[in-house]
Structure 1
Amino acid sequence: MGERAPSLRRARRRVSDAVDAVVAGIPAEPGTPFDIADFCARLAELRGRPIALLAMGPLLGGRPVPMTGLLVALPNSDYLFYDDGTSPSFRENAIMHELGHLVLGHSAGGQPAGEDDLDLLSSLLPDLDPDMVRRMLSTALGRRGYTDRQEIEAEMFASLLWRRRGVDGHALIRPTARLAPADERVVDRLAQVLGAEPGRDR
């Protein structure tokens, strides 16, 4: 436990510094609502590398989308794929999480790739040489390849950047239907235990 706390503090500082640099390089336009596509375009300009933001659904031809987000770095550009079948809030959170991996310089890798992985990347990047796809497999498969610490840092990045942009993280994901009164009481009690304000978003 003694080592974990300093390690987490270092991670927070590293992520906070990265968010500070992004916010300084991409100032918010007063009175303009946050737009994730515009933000990606401005981040690409700031980094000097194109970022292609692509929905997975159409590229997979109706097959189930296997993950919420996937970052693939090619020699001259970065491809960020997202699940377009989810709500806008979940979609934006997934994109911001993957941007965290990108900005923080995370490199996935480790797990052996299978035929399903090859098929996925070939579907998402059909114009890519199959040999290059095979070479990329071990470093391009998102959550399976990142370490726990990298995942935590990416989540921190997304959360902190939303706050710095004035977007309340709790407001990003709202229930689509009211809970039954008994269920609301359970959720409110859980919120109290976790230190949140009961009923805030209802």
Structure 2
Amino acid sequence: MQDLCDRVAHHTGRPIRLEPVSLPPQGPYGLWIEVGGTDYVFYEQETSRLHQEHIIAHELGHVLCDHRSGGVLGEEASGLLLPTLDPQMVQRVLQRSHCGSAEEQEAEVIASLILQEVHRRTLEPTWTVPSGSADVIERLDRSLRHTPDEPR
């Protein structure tokens, strides 16, 4: 995930800091906050690694789409995450709690695509075809595609 964050940071020109935190039980699971030219991605630390990756990818979806709408961070979460920030800065926090919004749906699709690609690359076979076996593979392919009416 850090490599992915580094790539997104290169794209946006802003560094990204991942911050594991314990968020209030009523949610959200993650937050993206842009402060002083740095993107902070807060994610729930008390959940599985796979869920954390999804949360981070979702928030990166918001970063990539430059979603700027959202509400004000609640008092409890604000106290946990931003105890030293100016209240005017807190107004810039993106807390997206309406799962049906277009921005949320877009971030979910991006998260799913990111994770699909990450896991595809992780699970790709690392073996290669031995040299000299290309002709064997070609003959097998022809045999498998052979129909009774065609010569082999």
User: Which category describes the TM-score, using the shorter chain as reference length?
Assistant: 0.5 to 0.7
Equivalent residue of 1:165, what SS? helix
**Corresponding pairs, count:** 122
Identity %, equivalent residues = 35
Please state if 1:151 is matched with 2:104: yes
The equivalent position to 1:47 in structure 2, one of 7, 12, 32, is: 12
With normalisation by structure 1, the TM-score equals: 0.52
Q: Do the aligned partners of 2:31 and 2:95 also contact (CA within 8 Å) in 1? A: yes
Greater C-alpha radius of gyration: 2
Question: What displacement does 1:165 show?
Answer: 3.1
Give structure 1 regions of 4+ aligned residues with deviation exceeding 4 angstroms: none
What is the CA RMSD across the aligned residues, in angstroms?
A: 2.7
Alignment of 1:124-139 (within 5 A): 124-133=81-90, 135-136=91-92, 139=93
TM-score (norm. length: structure 2) = 0.67
- Report the AA paired with residue 154 of structure 1: A
Residue 65 of structure 1, CA deviation: 7.3
Which 5+ residue runs of structure 1 have no aligned equivalent?
Answer: 1-35, 172-202
Specify which of 74, 77, 85 is matched with residue 38 of structure 2: 77
Structure 1 residue 53 displacement after superposition: 0.5
Q: For the residues of structure 2 that align with 1:131 and 1:46, how far apart are their CA atoms?
A: 27
Q: Which amino acid aligns with 1:51?
A: I
| Conservation of the 8 A alpha-carbon contact between 1:80 and 1:98 | yes
Unaligned runs of 5+ in 2: 124-152
